[in-house]
Structure 1
């Protein structure tokens, strides 16, 4: 069975803050329209290594993308490469590091910010290079790509929660309110995605600490949420690893792949 999939990554969102502040998403869970799982991020709990982990299923230690300044393309099969090579349409509204990992590195804003090239792994992209790029604009970018190009796989990756965490820390009104605002923005788009039958995954790469950073082993840096919405999900109480998100998406897309995934999550 082949489904269309939207993966939303809310960068820097800590599990507890998600549980406390995402009223709409947790309302979907309360009304049995979604399930929420808890994941532990791989190490180091840094952004670029964990983009690679989520999108390839490969841990940072294995991928060699071990910190944010490793600027090169991925060496492994990703959701994007597998989908593109098997005739699926791909798109991403995401931070420019995603473009560097799967399209072209280094990122050139004039060339790469707006990408439409069928030969690339991410065929249709709107990339940004400002950590404060508004989540409202980012979700509009993603919705434009969805409506204009009808991708089989769409990545939507926002940075405002992470940006607030670096400026104000985990235990701050600014960080929590940034999460609340992301939830409000998502509530404008999710009903249409659900109505149109998309399989939707909403997660984070890593959490945040009170030092206004992340990268280590603290629970608040590693514990992140995963929300699953769609009729292909079992919604059973099972254990899911961050390295299994890639394989899960590949299964939903009907791709041939060798990625690990939690089979009990699917029906």
Structure 2
């Protein structure tokens, strides 16, 4: 039996800020309703390369998506392509680079912002191209997609935490408060997602530094959280690699695949 999966990628969220500031998620941890793993992101610690890593399991130096200016379709199998080709329903509320990687490149707002095409890897999408697009609106987009199309796999990818980091830096109240805001938004949805049968993974592509950037090897740039919520996770202590997130989702979706995954993480 397959499970439905929601993968939330909170762009630019540093591990320690998630641990210190996200009270609802930490409340689930305290009550043993979730588990948290520290993940080291691949290099370079940049967004587009790491979207590709998370969604295909392939390191940037191997995928060829090595910086944010590489604008082309992915040439790797992804969660989206594997799920769509095996009869699953796929959906994403995400930054437009996700559309460029898995649906069509370059992104054309008029044609691609709202996608409803079962021939695409991402069949149902709400994409945005403003870094300041409100997280609250993005989660509403995602919930519309979820309730309308009942996807087996839904990617939710808000950008405001990263945007605040680029404006004010890691050690700023604006960055921390934006993480707190994302936690509040998540608290309004997670219980309903669980009642509707979703396994939930919440992570980030990369962290942030005090130079208002990321891209290198500093711990604050590379250390990101992975919260898992659901009965198909063991909740045991284990090491999860960023390259295994794709395979973990594929396992949960009961897809045929050859991706690496974390056997100790999954109760399957």
Give the TM-score band, short-chain normalised.
over 0.9
Secondary structure of the residue aligned to 2:189 is helix
Aligned to 1:251: 251
Aligned to 2:78: 78
Aligned to 2:241: 241
Structure 1: distance between partners of 2:248 and 2:119: 24
Post-superposition shift, 1:91? 0.2
Post-superposition shift, 1:196? 1.8
Structure 1: distance between partners of 2:124 and 2:185: 22
Post-superposition shift, 1:234? 0.1
Secondary structure of the residue aligned to 2:170 is coil
Post-superposition shift, 1:197? 2.1
Aligned to 2:114: 114
Aligned to 1:136: 136
Post-superposition shift, 1:195? 1.7
Aligned to 1:264: 264
Q: Is the counterpart of residue 217 in structure 1 residue 220 in structure 2?
A: no
Structure 2: distance between partners of 1:53 and 1:170: 23
Aligned to 1:187: 187
Aligned to 2:10: 10
Q: Is the counterpart of residue 35 in structure 1 residue 73 in structure 2?
A: no
Secondary structure of the residue aligned to 1:28 is helix
Secondary structure of the residue aligned to 1:177 is helix
Structure 1: distance between partners of 2:197 and 2:84: 21
Structure 2: distance between partners of 1:194 and 1:91: 18
Structure 1: distance between partners of 2:90 and 2:146: 10
Post-superposition shift, 1:230? 0.4
Post-superposition shift, 1:39? 0.1
Cα RMSD of the aligned pairs, angstroms, is 0.4
Aligned to 1:90: 90
Structure 1: distance between partners of 2:94 and 2:45: 19
- The CA deviation string for residues 149-170 of structure 1, in whole angstroms up to 9 with x for no partner, is 0000000000000000000000
Q: Is the counterpart of residue 207 in structure 1 residue 201 in structure 2?
A: no
Q: Which structure 1 segments of 5+ residues have no match?
A: none
Structure 2: distance between partners of 1:129 and 1:243: 26
Aligned residue pairs: how many? 267
Aligned to 1:123: 123
Structure 2: distance between partners of 1:97 and 1:197: 28
- The CA deviation string for residues 121-157 of structure 1, in whole angstroms up to 9 with x for no partner, is 0000000000000000000000000000000000000
